[in-house]
Structure formats: structure tokens, C-alpha cells
Chain A
């Protein structure tokens, strides 16, 4: 045996976000991949089907007739004690909804990449976060990735995290912006990845006929609450496991995985909070404004469920104004990240002002000039004209 990280090689590859996830899954080589195509997730299953056709993986591909069946097949395979994955987006995720809580309730460590896309109606294939944000309370962990490289890493990391706490995980990337755009990314060698992900030790096995079990049994009012609470409690273990696996990740690949990206946020008065790919371009704006001497930073949550309130309050301890930019709306309420940030700062001494803004629904582009304009006007103490960025009205 060799030591952690010894002999680790990185290779630069030109991959889209979808291909990067498929590459990570290829290295994981799960026993079962149940698939159903939906834009913009399709590059993931397309690339994986190629790996399978070329004999690079020994995964059983189940071509299902719907997303409901895709997740159901994944649940069945996972309950049978093997690594099982699927991938989806938008209406596909909504069609899976009924089975989402089954996966988490049965405590199956399923990894499901989601290429975030708007939801109907009106029908739209482009990016926003309304799909996965509608499923934040279904007992799935969620991570949001900034670019293809992070999508690759979080697929490996997410698998390990899911198996450590026996909870399913959604690895979310921005549809098209990340899923289809090619980037040059670093991938790690197969052997080190294999060593990092290790052998899957299932918590139970439906096909072990010597020890027959019943899964998904009826639990009436006398026992339902305790069984559900067991799943809720598992979320409390995520933080420690995340840190532990992050250390393992660093030992193997020389890179740490954080709960969030703190881009000058903890030392700034004005903090922009935004998920996924938008954060990457926003950092250029932050750089520009910081050069002009403005106290402005960016906070990009990576682990979104569970939401680690204490960790976020550390990053927001100096903030006076917080702008939460979200690619989803909470009709009749506010979008979810805004609400979580409000809860985070509720008991802090600095009592920052928290603003909620909605942008980019259905793939409407946001430009660096929009973000700059927003930050400049907030810093100047101007009142916001609208909660919606780039709306034509």
C-alpha cells in the first residue's frame, strides 16, 4: 500500500460540466446507472453511455421510460446493496418528486447530479434553480457547483459524503452555463480516485436471502415520528463527516473542500451571496470594486442542505449589508437562500441589512455590469428599484 496522495497524477482535460460529472462517475464505476434523458442533464448520461459502449465501465445501464422510474430503479438497486446513481433536471426532477423522500427515508446514499433548469409553465429549457430549490426539504443533501472542475470534485466528494451519513445527495450545476460549456479542468488518476472512494459497504441488502428484510414497511402513528427523526438527525452528522472527508480529499488530491467559498466575505462590509456559476463572474466585479477601495466581498454557499447556520454567521460577522442574489423565487414569500441568511444573521450583534434579489429566471443572462451597478448602488445606500434584475417592465 502506498501513502495518501502518493503517486497522484492530475491531467488537464477539456470537458463540459456534464462530461466532467460523467468522468467522475466513470472513475467511481457504480454498479447501476438508471437513466432518462432531459435537457440540460443529457451530456451526463450521453457521455456515460459512451463509456459503457466502449467497455470502460461495467455499470448496468437501465434505460427507463421516465424519471419516476429512473429514480425508483436507482432506489431498488441501492437497497440491494450496490452503488446506484441517476441524473436529472427540471420537470424530470419534479416527476421524481414522489420517490425523493423514499430515497432519503430509506437512507440510501444515492448520488444524483442535477443540471439546474427552469420549470414549466411556460416551458423553458434554460438555467434557473427553481427545480432543485423546490426539493430542499425532501431529505436530500444539496451541493451547488461553480464550474466543471468543482462538479467533477463534488461528484467524488458527494458520493463519499452520502455513504458516510446514509443520505442521498444532489450535485447541482447550472444548466448550459456549466453543463454544456467546455472548460479545461484537472482530473485525478483512476487509482487515487478508486482509493479515495473505496469499497461500498451497504447498511442493508435486500438481496441477502439468508437474512431477509422488509423495506418500506408501514409505520403508523406509534412509530412514524421516530423513524423520520432518525433521518432528520442524520443531517446533524453531515458537518463533521464533511470536514473529515475534506481532510481525506486533501490528503489524496491536495485540495480542500469547504462548506462555502469565502471570497473576502468575512472581512467586508458589503457581501454578495450567490450560488453556482454566477459567483465566478461576480468575483471579477468584486476584484474591480476592491481595487477602488470598497469593502465588498462574495460568499458562495457550496453545501446548501444541510444549511450550516453557525458556519455562515462566522463568514458574515463583519457584514453590514448583505445582498442575496437568487435564481429562483419564493412566490408569496421569499426565495430559500434569503430566508436561510436571515435566520443566520437574526441573532448576530452586527445586525446587517439583508436584501433579496431575483435574477436569471429561465436563463436570462446577468452581466458583470448588472452586478457592478447593483453593488455600487447598495454601497452608496440607494434604494433598490426592483427585486428583479433585468426585468423588462
Chain B
């Protein structure tokens, strides 16, 4: 069952194609965020290697939002760095 494939010279792709590959499926544990405990220090936002911590804006400034589970691989760096321990890693 082979389908003919066409590729650009040298396997060159358009920019931004890494987004197509949703790597969230690699995850075995997921971060669960307690929004009430969170002090919005944004340390997790800076530490996330996949830029999965989404942000939102309100009157008081930029706040931490939900985690983008399409690309979160469950590395747990956010949970490790959190000063108030408001992120817990739980089994998928």
C-alpha cells in the first residue's frame, strides 16, 4: 500500500512545520495546575522548554494561563521550579 510522495529539493519544508507534529502524545505524566494557589510569578513560563505555558492578560497585568497539552511532554520542569508547588505531575 504505497502512495507516491513528492518532496522539495533536499527535503526543504516551509517554515513552522514543527507545529504539525503534536508531540504531546509522548507524555506519560501531565502537569495539573492549581490556579488558586498560583502566585503568577511566571517562573514556569520561562522554564518550559516547549513554551507550553499559555498566558492571558487582565487588568493587573500578564497572568499564567492553561498548559498547551498539544506539545507538553510532561517533563515536570514547571512543577520542579514552582515556588508555591501549585503544579503537580499526575499519571496520564
Find out whether the CB atom of B12 lies under 8 angstroms from the CB atom of A213. Answer: yes
B15 / chain A contacts, CB cutoff of 8 Å? 212-214
Q: Is A236 an interface residue (CB 8 A)?
A: no
User: How near does chain B come to A81, taking the closest CB pair, in angstroms?
Assistant: 12
Find out whether the CB atom of A203 lies under 8 angstroms from the CB atom of B9. Answer: yes
Q: Is A327 an interface residue (CB 8 A)?
A: no
Find out whether the CB atom of A204 lies under 8 angstroms from the CB atom of B12. Answer: yes
Selected contact of B9 from candidates A217, A219, A230, CB within 8 Å: A230
Q: Is A360 an interface residue (CB 8 A)?
A: no
Measured between alpha carbons, how far is A288 from B72 in the docked complex, in Å?
77
Measured between alpha carbons, how far is A265 from B56 in the docked complex, in Å?
79
Selected contact of B16 from candidates A166, A212, A226, A227, CB within 8 Å: A212
Selected contact of B12 from candidates A215, A223, A226, CB within 8 Å: A215
How would you classify the secondary structure of chain A's contact residues: helix, strand, loop or mixed?
Answer: loop
- Using a Cβ–Cβ cut-off of 8 Å, how many residues does chain B contribute to the interface with A? 13
Q: Is A126 an interface residue (CB 8 A)?
A: no
Closest A residue to B13 by beta carbon equals A214
Measured between alpha carbons, how far is A216 from B13 in the docked complex, in Å?
9
B7 / chain A contacts, CB cutoff of 8 Å? 223, 226-227, 230
Find out whether the CB atom of B9 lies under 8 angstroms from the CB atom of A204. Answer: yes
Closest A residue to B15 by beta carbon equals A212
A216 / chain B contacts, CB cutoff of 8 Å? 11
Selected contact of B10 from candidates A212, A215, A223, A226, CB within 8 Å: A215
Given contacts A223-B5, A226-B5, A105 and B10 within 8 Å (CB-CB): yes
Q: Is A318 an interface residue (CB 8 A)?
A: no
Measured between alpha carbons, how far is A129 from B44 in the docked complex, in Å?
56
B16 / chain A contacts, CB cutoff of 8 Å? 212, 214
Q: Is A182 an interface residue (CB 8 A)?
A: no
A215 / chain B contacts, CB cutoff of 8 Å? 10-13
User: How near does chain A come to B54, taking the closest CB pair, in angstroms?
Assistant: 23
Report 13 cross-chain contacts, Cβ distance below 8 Å, ordered by A residue: A106-B12, A166-B10, A204-B12, A213-B15, A214-B12, A214-B14, A214-B16, A217-B11, A217-B13, A217-B17, A223-B5, A226-B7, A227-B11
